[in-house]
């Protein structure tokens, strides 16, 4: 199967123009050619349209997909009160079946919003992996670990990695998911880190999300979460650090040196009044930032267009409008995310890359006139602009409709379960 996609291409390849009228040729699950002008030769399918803009698939590096079940159930609270009073008691009532359907609901939202790959940390992860497998999306999955569930859960998390790594025709990667330093204290983290380094498994963890997390960690453990984790050896394996709202300069230095990848989740941080990450300082420190939404109960959506824009604004608001321009924001939400989740040949539009591609429709009044397609992706774009989505060479969204599963059935199932969570 050979497909030609024609339109304005934004390849994110430094040696190519930032955007150009051209084509992308996909064969099986790979991009085999990218060029300026019209494609030449025979194709099984040609995807052409007057206002098409072609970008790499968006990558969401931190979420809890099944928390779509709790979207809007409790708003306007700070993180600790929100978690302890509203979320944990409801999570106690979750079942494998509910997690499966709630994850599918989130996957529908992600795909329709141009997200081709996401990093998830939750529980009943076999169900999440099953949903990923069936729906055609790509994901990096980790079982959430907390010390009060006991050390045997670390083994469950490891076994999950062993079972699912590379499954879903290679679309599933896995990590260990210790929740945070306040739920996984140093003695417990030591054991997680030992498993991670013995088995070469990356780690996905919440880091320095709130001021309280940092000050409690300093008083209990004698250092910031980053300093403590570094001392324990956590950064000797690839590491996604979600949030990173309250980093000291020294934390950034450590993270840059160790290649720790922040996942910025700005709208969740704003909504839960956790604070604003120092994006420009992180950029200056040389951190390879990525972008995530956090769970849909604290955001309250999985809108990566919004997150890209907010991340860029967070960098600018301290006084430098040139910080995190559109190109950089899109890199964070595509290439950087793909690499952080373990796919090194994913995230740009170039020959030899895996074909995760999003085709946007620029016919909306909001996207006209067009002086720069790239500018609109970041500063005016919206999930409703997403027309077709290809993951691993397959169209999983075509004409704004999911092709791989019944979204209406999914919505009805989740609404039925929701009656028990009000
Ligand atoms: Zn989170």
**Has residue 182 got a pLDDT over 90?**
yes
Give the mean pLDDT of 373-390.
Answer: 98
Is residue 254 located within the same domain as residue 277?
A: yes
Mean pLDDT of 202-223: 98
Q: How far is the CA of 296 from the centre of ligand 1 (A)?
A: 10
Separation of alpha carbons 45 and 55, rounded Å: 19
Q: Tell me the CA–centroid distance for residue 142 and ligand 1, in Å.
A: 12
Is 414 a member of any domain? no
* Residue 340 alpha carbon to ligand 1 centre in Å: 16
**Sorting pLDDT into bands at 50, 70 and 90, what band is 142?**
very high
99 and 168 assigned to the same domain = yes
Q: Does 349 score more than 90 pLDDT?
A: yes
Average pLDDT over residues 220-225: 98
Higher pLDDT, 161 or 83: 161
**Segment 259-271 mean pLDDT:** 97
Within a domain: 219: yes
CA of 242 to the centre of ligand 1 (A): 7
Mean pLDDT of 115-124: 97
Q: Quote the ligand 1 centre to 322 CA distance (angstroms).
A: 29
Q: How far is the CA of 88 from the centre of ligand 1 (A)?
A: 13
Residues 62 and 27 grouped into a single domain: no
Confidence bin at 406 (pLDDT 50/70/90): very high
> Quick check: 49 pLDDT over 90?
no
User: Which domain does 147 fall in, by range?
Assistant: 58-340
Residues 212, 109 share a domain: yes
Same structural domain for residues 362 and 233? no
Q: What confidence category does residue 79 fall into, taking pLDDT thresholds of 50, 70 and 90?
A: confident
Clarify whether residues 180 and 301 are in a common domain: yes
pLDDT band at 276 (very low <50, low <70, confident <90, very high): very high
Please, which pLDDT band fits residue 335 given cuts at 50, 70 and 90?
very high
Residues with CB under 5 A from ligand 1 (ion): 294
User: Which pLDDT score is estimated for 209?
Assistant: 97
Same domain, yes or no: 194 and 226: yes
Quote the pLDDT of residue 105: 98
CA of 173 to the centre of ligand 1 (A): 18
Residue 62: the pLDDT is 98
pLDDT for 80 equals: 86
Pair of tokens at residue 56: 């790499």
CA of 199 to the centre of ligand 1 (A): 24
ipTM score for this prediction = 0.99
Give the total number of structural domains in the chain. 2
Q: Is the pLDDT at 78 greater than 90, yes or no?
A: no
Residues 116 and 213 in one domain: yes
36 domain residue, yes or no: yes
**Residue 252 belongs to a domain with what CATH number?**
3.20.20.140
């Amino acid at each position: 199967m050979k497909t030609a996609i024609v339109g304005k291409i934004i390849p994110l390849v430094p040696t190519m123009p930032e955007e150009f009228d051209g084509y992308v040729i996909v064969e099986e699950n790979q991009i085999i050619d990218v060029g300026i002008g019209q494609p030449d030769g025979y194709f099984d399918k040609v995807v052409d349209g007057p206002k098409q803009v072609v970008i790499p698939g968006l990558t969401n590096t931190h979420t809890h997909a099944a928390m779509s079940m709790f979207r809007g159930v409790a708003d306007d609270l700070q993180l600790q009160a929100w978690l302890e009073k509203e979320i944990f008691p409801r999570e106690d009532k979750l079942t494998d079946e509910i997690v499966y359907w709630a994850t599918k609901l989130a996957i529908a939202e992600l795909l329709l919003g141009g997200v081709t790959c996401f990093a998830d940390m939750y529980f009943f992860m076999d169900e999440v992996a099953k949903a990923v497998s069936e729906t055609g999306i790509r994901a990096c999955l980790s079982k959430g670990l907390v010390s009060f569930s006991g050390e045997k859960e670390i083994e469950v998390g490891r076994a999950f990695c062993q079972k699912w790594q590379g499954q879903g025709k290679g679309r599933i990667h896995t990590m260990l998911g210790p929740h945070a330093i306040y739920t996984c204290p140093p003695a417990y983290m030591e054991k997680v880190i030992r498993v991670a380094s013995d088995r070469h498994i990356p780690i996905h963890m919440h880091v320095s999300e709130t001021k309280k997390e940092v000050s409690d960690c300093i008083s209990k453990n004698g250092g910031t979460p980053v300093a403590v984790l570094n001392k324990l050896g956590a950064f000797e394996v690839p590491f996604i650090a979600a949030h990173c709202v309250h980093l000291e300069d020294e934390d950034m230095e450590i993270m840059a040196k160790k290649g720790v990848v922040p996942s910025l989740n700005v709208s969740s941080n704003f909504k839960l009044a956790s604070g604003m990450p120092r994006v420009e300082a992180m950029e200056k420190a040389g951190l390879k930032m990525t972008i995530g939404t956090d769970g849909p109960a604290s955001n309250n959506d999985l809108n990566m267009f919004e997150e890209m824009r907010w991340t860029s604004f967070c960098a600018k608001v301290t006084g430098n409008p040139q910080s995190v321009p559109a190109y950089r924001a899109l890199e964070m939400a595509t290439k950087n995310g793909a690499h952080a989740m373990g796919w090194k040949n994913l995230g740009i539009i170039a020959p030899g890359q895996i074909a995760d591609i999003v085709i946007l429709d620029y016919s909306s009044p909001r996207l006209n006139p067009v002086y720069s397609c790239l500018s609109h992706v970041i500063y005016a774009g919206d999930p409703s602009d997403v027309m077709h989505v290809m993951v691993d060479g397959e169209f999983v969204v075509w004409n704004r409709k999911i092709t791989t599963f019944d979204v209406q059935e999914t919505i009805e199932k989740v609404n039925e379960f929701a009656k028990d969570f009000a």
